[in-house]
Amino acid sequence: MSLFERPPAGAVGEAIPHESAELHVTGAALYTDDLGVRLSNLLHAWPLQAPHAHARVTRLDTAPALLVPGVVRVLSAADVPGVNDSGVKHDEPLFPEEVMFYGQAVCWVLAESAEAARLGAEAVRVEYQPLPAILTIAEAIAEESFQGAQPTLRRGDVALGFEQAAHIFEGEFEFSGQEHFYLETNAALAHLDESGQVFIQSSTQHPSETQEIAAHVLGLSSSQVTVQCLRMGGGFGGKEMQPHGFAAIAALGALLTGRPVRVRLNRTQDLTMTGKRHPFHARWRVGFDQDGRLQALQATLSSDGGWSLDLSEPVLARALCHIDNAYFIPHVEVHGRICKTNKTSQTAFRGFGGPQGMLVIEDILGRCAPLLGLEAHELRRRNFYQPGEATPYGQLVRHAERMHTVWDTLLERSDFEARQAEIRAFNAAHPHVKRAIAVTPVKFGISFNFTAYNQAGALVHVYKDGSVLINHGGTEMGQGLHTKMMQVAATALGLPLSRVRLAPTRTDKVPNTSATAASSGADLNGGAVKNACDQIRGRLAEVAAGALGVHPDDVRFQSGRVFPLGHPDKGMDWEQLVSDAYFLRTQLWAAGYYRTPGLHWDRVTVQGEPFKYFSYGAAVCEVEVDGFSGAYRQLRADLLHDVGDSLSPLIDLGQVEGGYVQGAGWMTLEDLRWDTGDGPNRGRLSTQSASTYKLPSFSEMPEVFKVALLEQATESGVVYGSKAVGEPPLMLAISVREALRQAAAAFGPGGRTQELALPATPEAVYWALEAARQASEQRVAADD
């Protein structure tokens, strides 16, 4: 069978719970920090964080810390046997001589208890020479403080496009980042075995890279370091790069003391030491023809990368590749640049730049629709990609008609037109409360921008009793990847799911793995798991063919039985076949491999085919806004998302729901604030706890929440016809902000552009609707 074809019966497509759901809800699931109690003589690490956004360390005296009872050692740059750097770009000193953000660790204290380590860190004497700090995108632009490449996305001739445009608008838009706020903070646990092998338990989305960074800090080869990720309590991209340094600290401590070392950040440390979603500033100019169709877009995107590059370059590249979202724009010129600021090194976050790019074009359309005399949803529909059209970076938009199907189906199912009429009547009768309904699309490319990452491996064992153990390179962070991989293996081998067990992700089982990121975990690892299973199944088919007297191609595996095609009554049990194969000296294990075909990408010219396919979706959101306070409610949300033929529908529905809610948090609530004043706390993160950084809760959920998966949506060339689901649903939440924009505009006259800050907090919505009221008053005064 091909990669995407499904057998008549199998575990894929079954709506089953997450494989660890019962462990999660009973508290029995183990995470990295839970494993330390199994080790004797455990040491605890605590960072000494710098109280400056930018400063030079002029003196570091660790001797007083060693006088604190329980303190065993203080780690500093002098202790590093390898390379004092924890970044893949070699721009992130593990122990810095120059502090680059407020809260950066300058040394780590190891002690018998976390409290002793904390007291030891307080006893360390450090002297700093404060240096000027850059904290905002505006400051970075003024100082020309940039880092990394500055790519440009081009198609056509924007000058010609603007000449042909009937309407030209311009503006700018700046929006904040977002804190990952995973339930489990960063954690690592390291110890040495009797041969000197370093073993690290890490809460990491990228075990192979954690292995590489720890090895070069220790001055060891990768083969001397093993990293295991049992599971994570959330990641969202925040554990793709950020865990490497913490794992290196634990490993360095274990190497120098010969004792196991535990690193676990508390919530404040995690918030102040780790990167966030990249904030962006966009300056744009756009042209439309007489019918409201996009003609030209010229823009400059400036992202805030923080103090080091981290993943800022590919994040910016994906933002450029998604500034079109679902819309065809004939003439495009978009410049990108990364600001270097004295803040945490901003990093991957669900969507990886895609949401930022989409926000720009959706903000443009939301602002321009009234000026064009069109309803926002109609302006969006008119500009959808048509079959045969390509993106500005040269990739054909495959299945463009699917976006139209999603859109039309959702408008019909959500009773969009009827509810619009109801809202108009409601607003006419309520001067101090307004409602609005908005719909926005999503077209999101699936694959890593960096082509080499689009590969995966797996190891599948079939034991003599017929039981199966699988191991793959992907990591589990609650998204259900392990559940899907078990379903893939069970289906490929024709077994009940109960016969398949999964082992934790380890670098000594499957090497050189890519990060579990870019929504590609199931595509890549599923392809590798299926490849390994197909190898085993092929060998077993040869054995069965001899016993059944048929050709191997006519052997069928289904529900734990092996039989000739068309004769399920004449077969044998799986266990019997495996036993027979063993005695015939048949290999019962296989290493699987998969790489995504057809990808090519030139990051200099920003041209190529970086994505295997596009995921499509749309969301309709209805809100109600109070005119006195700006407070609002989500009355209803209708979501329709394309996941191909779902591998695991219950898992996928949960991912769509969760992605939407997390996106709504970014759109409306989550407001990262740094102290940008000139006082002693300049550069300090002000929102460094759950009391000051507001997350979405049940009270912010839509009162009516309807989520569905697109039917009859097989994606050829992907494991069992499925599609990725991790990141794309987050962008469905753009509909929330667009609904709030329209509700604020309803307090004023029509035909005017309505600006709205992001996050659209009640305060921001209040000032937006107040501007609408003032516009109404001005129009009345002008008429008088």
Q: Are 245 and 347 in contact (CB under 8 A)?
A: no
Q: CA angle, 364 as apex, 363 and 369 as ends, to 5°?
A: 105
Residue 98 token pair: 């120059």
Query: What is the DSSP pairing of strand 572-573 with strand 455-462?
Result: unpaired
Strands (E), 699-759: 704-709
Taking the mean position of all CA atoms in its chain, how far away is CA 635?
Answer: 27
387-393 contacts, C-beta under 8 A, 24 or more apart: 389/328, 391/321, 391/324, 392/153, 392/154, 392/155, 392/324, 392/329, 392/332, 392/334, 393/153, 393/155, 393/320, 393/321, 393/606, 393/607, 393/608, 393/610
Distance of alpha carbon 754 from alpha carbon 734, whole angstroms: 16
Q: Are 284 and 298 in contact (CB under 8 A)?
A: yes
What lies within 8 Å, CB to CB, of 563 at 6+ separation is 548, 555, 556, 569, 570, 571, 572
**Which residues are catalytic, by number?**
727
Q: Are 288 and 295 in contact (CB under 8 A)?
A: yes
Strands (E), 511-647: 555-558, 561-564, 572-573, 589-595, 600-602, 607-609, 613-626, 632-641
Distance of alpha carbon 261 from alpha carbon 188, whole angstroms: 8
What lies within 8 Å, CB to CB, of 498 at 6+ separation is none
Residue 456 token pair: 């995966």
Say whether the peptide bond before residue 702 is cis (omega within 30 degrees of 0): no
Distance of alpha carbon 764 from alpha carbon 771, whole angstroms: 11
Residue located via tokens 């003024």: 142
Residue 170 token pair: 């311009």
Integer-rounded Cα Rg, in Å, for the chain is: 28
Beta-bridge partner residues of 561: 558, 573
Beta-bridge partner residues of 184: none
Instruction: Give the dihedral sign, CA 137/734/698/517.
Output: negative
Cα within 13 Å of Cα(516), Cβ side:
30
Nearest to 185 by CA among 267, 261, 125: 267
What lies within 8 Å, CB to CB, of 600 at 6+ separation is 451, 608, 609, 610
Cα within 13 Å of Cα(670), Cβ side:
22
Distance of alpha carbon 339 from alpha carbon 465, whole angstroms: 58
Taking the mean position of all CA atoms in its chain, how far away is CA 534?
Answer: 30
Q: Are 522 and 37 in contact (CB under 8 A)?
A: no
547-556 contacts, C-beta under 8 A, 24 or more apart: 547/572, 547/577, 547/580, 548/572, 556/494
Distance of alpha carbon 715 from alpha carbon 378, whole angstroms: 28
Strands (E), 306-375: 331-339
